[in-house]
Chains A and B, each alone.
Chain A
Amino acid sequence: MVPAAPLVRKSPNPLNAAFVRTYRNPLGFFGLLILGLLVIGALAAPLISPYNPVAQHQGKELLGPSGEFWLGTDELGRDLLSRVIYGARPSLVVALMVVVIGGGLGIVAGLAAGYLGGWVNALLMRIFDAMFAFPPILLGFVIIAALGPGTTQVAYAIALAVVPSLGRVARSLVLKERYRDYVLAARCTGAGTGRVMFLHVLPNAVSPMIVNLALLMGFSVLAEASLAFLGLGTQPPTPSWGAMLNESRAYLRNDPWMAICPGVVLALLLLGLNYLADALREAFDPRRVNAGF
């Protein structure tokens, strides 16, 4: 006897569905493609780079693009293509660290403030207010001045600088969820505060946060490049796009490819992240989802 087909079709996981919609969105696909290519390039840099990115080819300084050096060389005769490929690493590492550390701290703080309320909410909000009083980049300077320049330090600085804005967003989302019936139901079943916060409230508030985290990645890449441009990020001779742009300033007029190469990949990554965030926002937008888009 053949078993009867189930009468109720299981609805797909909303997160998975949103990611599928993102992937199918041309803008989202483009963003994912750019991000994927750069991540693969950064991971496989030792395999695909034609030269060691810090190797100086004496007598071959400031060469234009050629068969030997596809994107040309810099003022010390270093291969620009190899430096651009390796230069993706600090940008992506910083973006990842900021999302994990800054995003994690912001979400947890917002969750606590929004769900627990009371003095926890008051204390965290006043701390955020104080941090909002400083422009994020200035806060970054202060932190780097204390920690010293370097890729990891830049990641910590940016992560700390973005906590208040993410915390605010997370808090507002949690406030919306806090009094919903499913939260009350969970508490009636005896679930503890932590369990309700992390297993019930957080999953229901996470969608807009994902969009925010994608935007945060773009901000982190740009902030890392800015700080490296100012000499506060990845230290030479390790390549980073911001530092390469800074080094190229002295040669803009006669050797523009020195600025164009890191500038273009930086712009592409930012464009890709923006497209991705845009596609995610559309994918998570309940009005569009309900309308069948």
Chain B
Amino acid sequence: MKRVMNRRSALRVIGITAGAALVAACTPAPQPQAPPTPAGAVPTTAAISVSTPAPAAAQPRRGGVAQYSIQADLSSIDGHVRTPGAVDSLWLAFDRLTTYDQQLQPQPMLAESWDVSSDYKQVKLNLRKNVTYHTGREFTSDDVKWNLLRVRRSDAASGQYANQSNWFTGIDTPDKYSVILTSDSPRPALFDLFENLNMLDQQTIDIEAGPKQTKAIGTGPFVFKEWAQGDHLTFERNPNYWDSGKPYLDGLQANVRDIQAATVQLEAGALQLIRNPLVDDTARLEQDPKYTKVLHPNPGTFFEYGLDCSKPPLDNKLVRQALNYALNRQRLVDIYRGNVTVGALPWGPSSPAYDQAKNNAYAFDLDKARSLLNQAGVSNVEVENIIIKGSYPQQETFLQVYQADLAQLGVKMTPKLVDAATWLDQANNVKYTGMWASGDNYSNLHPGSLFAVSPGWRVFPNNDGFQDPHWAELVAAANSETDAGRQKQLYSDVNDYILDQCFTYAVSNNPVWWITSSKFHGLVPTLHQGFSWTNAWLEA
């Protein structure tokens, strides 16, 4: 006789199954214990791992293809368009003119040497010879000129580089291996541009296509082979790389994966490294000898809040200072389980404006915040804080901490999670109500670069509706001062001004870390927010 399950029986079965699943799920998993952070302590770079430790006396080994994950696909494979995730994927195909070491000293890359005039108005770059693009064509001074001019085109959509390229009024190429750049004003931050501007192949770029390129040809250590949109980017070793014998890996594949799926794949051995796994998983995996955490000591990306200074009550700097004092940055360290560095100033350790003492200003103090609000004579402050949804999960969580602390002051702050287009529209046109929250770049370079590029810090117009002739003078001086002694005083003045005005205030760096298989070695942090993979290698 045929038995048919009726609705009631089905519901019973579902109920019993759900109960059994619940019992199974309640079986406790081994709990990783993150190293406790002492109260008030803030991680410093000295305490942070820098690169993948290699086994004792191990020599890099040639060969192998490393599989790794990135969390979002690229929006473009144009090397002049800076998109999240590109630095540790697309940029493998390119070289830059120079590269900074961790002390912000320029080191040779495509430029072997350089002569900078004492007034920083002229620089002569002597290019490396016998460097070829992946097409086989030689890299010459004409390519440098073309790249510097291309980023100035509006259709190239590389606005941040355009600002810096426009520093140079003259670009001369006296021979194949020399470039002379001249500027009307001193440009002490010129190596910041060289650090970040990829040297693309002018012959394979479709100039009319703007950022919608289909090829990514450079001189870099890896040759770009394939972009399967939404899934992966593939790179192969460049056998003709100018740094003889490198890279060590035969290839790399950057896989676009949800981070939780990527973590499972890492543990299954399908991936060798994953970028920024969840902090809970990071705490678990870093205690497992099969994996290693590589935390970037100075990524150059940071997180900040901006305030609408054009309208009451935030046009009053006392109110802005009060909001800064209400920011319990130590809680963010707890949320990140120690993987973040916090501070009131935007600068990373390599920046000449970095000041550890001033960075610790605005220690969490609700009484001081309350007193400042009383002094300002304001009450019942209501603001929103717009943030791009999903881009900064820990920062979204931290906003709830900030919200609760502000509520103790009688300030109603409502986090508003919006899409990127809405955020850009509201922030760039100062249409938000009170505050914006966002990531920013260039904190580890010269202050002039941040002020030239960032909408949160530039003179005017900026995302804060902030305008002050004194700020304009300070920024102009920071962009052009070349004397080391005067620079030091100037940057100190800049920091004092930033801390006093609080039109935009830093929250923390945006940490970048990898969890790698213990068989993967040789990631080297760079100051362009990612890592160099040229020395990366895999154990057999």
Contacts and interface: CB of A to CB of B under 8 A. Distances in A.
B260 A271 contact: no
A75 B398 CA distance: 10
B400 A275 contact: no
Contacts of A250: 278-280, 393
A56 B25 contact: no
A285 interface: no
Nearest to B22: A264
Interface stretch (A35-43, A158-166, A251-259): A251-259
Given A236-B400, A264-B22, A254 B32 contact: yes
A259 to B, nearest CB: 8
B331 A58 contact: yes
B11 interface: yes
B26 A256 contact: yes
Nearest to B32: A254
B404 interface: yes
A271 B404 contact: no
A217 interface: no
A278 B415 contact: no
Interface residues of B, number: 33
A249 B334 contact: no
A75 B22 contact: no
A58 B8 CA distance: 47
Contact of A61 (B26, B260, B334, B414): B334
B29 interface: yes
Contacts of A231: 389, 417
A275 B10 CA distance: 11
B417 A271 contact: no
A249 B263 CA distance: 13
Given A253-B29, A267-B18, A56 B280 contact: no
A251 B279 CA distance: 9
A142 interface: no
B331 A251 contact: no
Contacts of A75: 335, 397
Given A250-B393, A254-B31, A76 B7 contact: no
Nearest to A251: B280
A178 B260 CA distance: 57
B15 interface: yes
Contacts of B401: 56, 76
B412 to A, nearest CB: 12
Contacts of A252: 260
Contacts of A254: 29, 31-32, 280-281, 283-284
A275 B11 contact: yes
A64 interface: yes
A32 interface: no
Given A249-B260, A254-B31, A260-B25, A76 B400 contact: yes
A61 B37 CA distance: 13
B28 interface: yes
A286 to B, nearest CB: 18
B403 interface: yes
A271 B331 contact: no
Contacts of A62: 280
Nearest to A25: B8
B280 A278 contact: no
A96 interface: no
Interface string B15-53: 100100010011011011000000000000000000000
A282 to B, nearest CB: 9
B280 to A, nearest CB: 5
A115 to B, nearest CB: 32
A64 B403 contact: no
Contact of A260 (B14, B22, B260, B335): B22
B397 A76 contact: yes
B8 A54 contact: no
A64 B445 CA distance: 43
Given A249-B260, A254-B32, A256-B25, A236 B415 contact: yes
Contacts of A144: none
A237 interface: yes
A52 to B, nearest CB: 10
A41 to B, nearest CB: 19
A253 B284 contact: yes
Nearest to B396: A236
Nearest to A255: B280
Contacts of B22: 260, 264
A283 interface: no
B281 to A, nearest CB: 6
B404 A54 contact: yes
A236 B400 CA distance: 7
Nearest to A65: B26
A124 interface: no
B183 to A, nearest CB: 47
B15 A271 contact: yes
B8 A278 contact: yes
Contacts of A278: 7-8, 11
Contacts of B403: 237
A75 B335 CA distance: 7
A27 B393 contact: no
Given A231-B417, A254-B32, A260-B26, A271 B14 contact: yes
A56 B399 CA distance: 13
A277 to B, nearest CB: 10
Interface in A267-287: 267, 271, 274-275, 278
Interface string A231-263: 100011100000000010111111111001000
A236 to B, nearest CB: 6
A267 B14 CA distance: 10
A232 to B, nearest CB: 10
Contacts of B283: 254
Nearest to B330: A58
Given A64-B28, A76-B397, A236-B400, A253 B11 contact: no
B100 to A, nearest CB: 34
A147 B288 CA distance: 48
30 contacts: A27-B11, A56-B401, A56-B404, A61-B334, A62-B280, A76-B335, A76-B397, A231-B389, A231-B417, A235-B414, A236-B400, A236-B415, A237-B400, A249-B260, A250-B280, A250-B393, A253-B281, A253-B284, A254-B31, A254-B32, A254-B280, A254-B283, A256-B25, A256-B29, A260-B26, A267-B18, A271-B18, A274-B11, A275-B11, A278-B7
Given A231-B417, A250-B280, 9 more contacts: A27-B11, A62-B280, A64-B28, A231-B389, A237-B400, A249-B260, A250-B278, A253-B280, A267-B18
- Of all A-B residue pairs in the complex, the 6 with the closest CB atoms, nearest first, are A250-B278, A254-B280, A237-B400, A251-B280, A236-B400, A56-B404
Interface of B: 7-8, 11, 14-15, 18, 22, 25-26, 28-29, 31-32, 260, 278-281, 283-284, 331, 334-335, 389, 393, 397, 400-401, 403-404, 414-415, 417
